[in-house]
A = this chain, B = another copy of it.
Amino acid sequence: MTDILHRVGIKSSLDEAYKALATREGAAAWWSNKVQGESKLGGVLKFTFIADGREIGTIDVKVIELQPSKRVVWQVVGGPAEWIDTKISFDLRQEGDWVIVLFKHAGWTEPSEFMHHCTTKWGVFLLSLKSLAETGKGSASPNDVQIGDWH
């Protein structure tokens, strides 16, 4: 098993950062604009990713932890084969002027080339989250930064 790890600092309130992670509207503004479902404990959010006007994939996550201002955890229940049953967690804390987000996408069975790609892409989306919480504007799909042929 191997994990994707990231750390970003956000100049916002804990509440603002938490809302961006814990609500459907928040996730839509930094990860993918196209999302269905409810962000509540046990609920499933279905994200659709678009590039060049075409659907390039969907990811379904079940919301398994929601601790206000502290922690959000999703379990992947649909999407690319390598993602199924992996867990995506966001831990938040205040550190001086910064909200620190520790990100973990845990449970990859091997360090495949796709995992390399997803590591870089998560970095891009976490900067989108940072921008959303700091300025009110993220770069969710389909307006995300393209990092290569796998988008």
Give the interface of A toward B (CB within 8 A): 2-10, 95-98, 100, 102-103, 111, 113, 115-117, 119-120, 123-124, 126-127, 130, 145, 147-150
Partner of A7, one of B7, B116, B127: B116
A120–B7 contact, CB under 8 A? Answer: yes
How far is it, in angstroms, between the C-alpha of A9 and the C-alpha of B102 when the chains are bound? 26
18 A-B interface contacts by CB (under 8 A): A5-B111, A5-B115, A5-B116, A6-B123, A7-B113, A7-B116, A7-B119, A7-B148, A8-B120, A9-B148, A9-B150, A98-B149, A102-B113, A103-B116, A119-B119, A127-B145, A127-B147, A130-B147
Residue of B with least CB distance to A7: B116
Q: Given the complex of chains A and B, what is the CA–CA distance between A6 and B4 in angstroms? A: 10
A121 → chain B closest CB, angstroms:
9
Instruction: Tell me the number of copies of this protein.
Output: 2
A58 to chain B, nearest CB (A): 21
Q: A100, B7: Cβ atoms under 8 Å?
A: no
